Amino acid sequence: MCQVFIQHTSASLTINENADPTVRKDFEMYFNKAVPENDPGYIHDAEGPDDMPAHLKAALLGSSVLIPVRNGKLAFGTWQGIYLCEHRDYGGSRDLVITAWGD
């Protein structure tokens, strides 16, 4: 098994289709509609209008993915890949912890 964990609260990881780049664009469009910036109800906005929406988007998608390993390779389906979802307009560098275990 291989676990990938992101050490941040305003970016996330998920597994989805990785063949057609329009899927990633649709992901961004959907989450921007579902969790908009500049909502007057947000209290946490010290780092800008994208700060609280970034935390909410990260909470919805999660901070880790777990992938089986088969014959020394990640056992993705035909179209699958890991998305590192950056939810800030200018997120900067991100740190990952990758752990593998098993026979």
Q: Looking at residue 10, what is its pLDDT?
A: 97
The answer to whether residue 103 scores a pLDDT higher than 90 is no
Q: List CB contacts of 73: < 8 A, sequence separation 6 or more.
A: none
Reported pTM: 0.92
CATH of the domain at 21: 2.60.120.460
Over residues 42-46, mean pLDDT: 92
Give residue 91's domain range: 2-100
Over residues 40-45, mean pLDDT: 93
Torsion angle, CA of 8/26/80/60, rounded to 10 degrees? 40
Q: Looking at residue 74, what is its pLDDT?
A: 96
Domain count, the chain: 1
Q: Looking at residue 30, what is its pLDDT?
A: 97
Over residues 12-33, mean pLDDT: 96
